[in-house]
Amino acid sequence: MAENDFSLKETCPKIGGGRSTPGGEMQTSSFDLVERMTFLYIRVVKARALPSNDSFIEVTIGSYKGRTKNNTNPNPNPEFHEVFAFNKDRLQGNVLDVAVKANEEVIIGKCKFEVAEIPTRVPPDSPLAPQWYRLEDINGNRFGGEVMLSVWMGTQADEVFPEAWHSDCVTVNGDNAVIARSKVYLSPRLWYLRVNIIEAQDLVPLQGNRTNPEILLGQNEECLGKCEIKLSQVERRVMPDTVPAMWYNLERVVDSVVQGFAGRIHLRVSLDGGYHVLDESIQYSSDYRASAKILWTPAIGVLELGVISASGLMPMKSREGRGTTDAYCVAKYGQKWPPLGRDVVEYMLDFGSNIWSIRRGRANFERLVTFFTAFLDAWVWFDSVCKWKSPLSKADSALPDELDEEFDGFPSGKSADLVKKRHPRLRIFDIPSVPQNFFRRLPSRADNL
């Protein structure tokens, strides 16, 4: 036995069967993720003016046949309401025969359809309305009988696909016939009965000498009274709104006999249907949403997964001398795995990738400015150092006289009149005995630059 090749292979399935609208946009559905399959659908609704009351309808194309249930109610105008589906890839004929039979041997009437002339319908196109077709006897003569049906070419995206009789499932027998085609079953909404006991008044004790009886609710040795509330009269609620409380009369019942008034009780009773009832073990559950859709949190997108095909599966049992496997694929995405963030989901869905947003553009620009701010600040500081621009030196705003005085040495090289004019209180130049190198040269403002 040759080993299976599990290496990576490239496949080209025929997917993406969306329909284009007059505006040029493509309308897609979940079935665009799987390979498109074409079926010949025949919807048989009813017949009228038949000469026999016990009849059925048989549809035939090539070697494939399908028949409705027998008309159990004797009526010349029977109703059937059944749908047949034939895989187009396996059709072995070009003519569809629809025959009304009284039994396997007797044909009451029949009509024919050319496969090449059958129209094609793919959702979201409107379904084809059934029409009346005249029946002909075995000699080709019309006798007045008619059959109402509709015939079209469709895909597995058709609404009648789950409920149709399929030609490729005729070999399935036994208990597996009921699971040959999947159907969608909606779980019924389960309602919780919520009872809020508030207070009680005017209770009548069983013994007259007991002035302070201990009142309990539930099972007790002595029943002071009871009341019955019909569920049809209980208010139903989905949203967690407050239900108004009501007073109910208590009746004393002894040996199933009502003996009179026993008090009143204040109750708030409601049927709550907005909560989720777990139908599986809590550690494996993945759907914790409320039963009411109005209580669901809004979705940020739809993640669609198409299962196309599988190969190399190990046979689990034998049928008619050959190995086979009744395999199925399960896709699970729920709360029992670590949840993805919104940014990850939007990235996976490629959300808004082809739409220009001013908000995102402004945000990206601010990110770039913030990133380059540090480099700009360093460049400004380096440029100021190179040009020696210090706001504390005031060298750029000094007057010519101030600069002349600042760069003048000691003793001054200027005339005595100019020095006295600048420093009227300084008389050191009037002392003739002071040598020139007596005073040390004092630091000037120019030394600080």
pLDDT at 41 (0 to 100): 96
| Number of Cβ atoms within 10 Å of the Cβ of 18 | 14
| Number of Cβ atoms within 10 Å of the Cβ of 384 | 12
| Owner of token pair 């008034």 | 261
Contact 192, 272 (CB under 8 A): yes
pLDDT at 249 (0 to 100): 92
Query: Can you tell me whether residue 246 is helix, strand or coil?
Result: strand
Q: Across the strands, what pairs with 46?
A: 79, 148
Which secondary-structure segment (H or E) carries 61? strand 56-61
- What is the rounded distance in angstroms from the CA atom of residue 351 to the CA atom of residue 344? 10
The angle subtended at Cα 95 by Cα 159 and Cα 152, nearest 5°, is 20
Contact 155, 122 (CB under 8 A): yes
Q: What is the dihedral of CA 137, 141, 146, 148, to 10 degrees?
A: 80
Which secondary-structure segment (H or E) carries 401? helix 400-406
Where in 156-288 does DSSP place strands (E)? 165-166, 192-201, 236-237, 246-254, 257-272
At 272, which amino acid appears?
Answer: D
Among 383, 387, 364, 363, CA closest to 375: 383
Domains observed in the chain: 37-179 (2.60.40.150), 395-448 (no CATH)
Contact 247, 220 (CB under 8 A): no
pLDDT at 446 (0 to 100): 47
pLDDT at 120 (0 to 100): 92
Q: How many helices (H) and strands (E) does the chain have?
A: 4, 17
DSSP 224: -
pLDDT at 45 (0 to 100): 94
At 275, which amino acid appears?
Answer: Y
- What is the rounded distance in angstroms from the CA atom of residue 6 to the CA atom of residue 3? 9
Contact 135, 169 (CB under 8 A): no
pLDDT at 30 (0 to 100): 64
| Number of Cβ atoms within 10 Å of the Cβ of 225 | 21
pLDDT at 430 (0 to 100): 47
Among 17, 34, 35, CA closest to 26: 17
pLDDT at 328 (0 to 100): 75
Q: How far is CA 307 from CA 35, 340, 434, in A?
A: 9, 22, 111
| Number of Cβ atoms within 10 Å of the Cβ of 408 | 16
First and final CA of the chain: distance in angstroms? 95
Residue by residue, pLDDT tens for the chain (449 residues) are: 456 677 777 777 777 655 555 555 556 666 677 778 899 999 999 999 888 778 899 999 988 899 998 776 777 888 999 999 999 988 888 999 999 998 888 899 999 999 999 999 987 788 899 999 999 988 888 888 999 999 999 988 888 988 888 887 755 555 555 455 655 555 667 788 999 999 998 887 776 655 666 666 655 567 788 899 998 889 888 887 888 999 999 988 887 788 888 889 999 999 988 876 665 666 666 667 777 778 888 877 777 788 887 888 888 777 778 888 877 777 776 655 565 666 666 665 555 656 677 777 888 888 898 889 988 889 888 888 787 655 566 766 778 777 777 777 777 777 777 777 766 655 444 444 445 554 455 555 445 54
pLDDT at 210 (0 to 100): 59
State the DSSP string of 1-13.
-PPP--S------
pLDDT at 433 (0 to 100): 47
pLDDT at 136 (0 to 100): 92
At 142, which amino acid appears?
Answer: R
Q: Across the strands, what pairs with 78?
A: none
- The token duo for 384 is 């100021």
| Number of Cβ atoms within 10 Å of the Cβ of 158 | 21
- The token duo for 374 is 């540090």
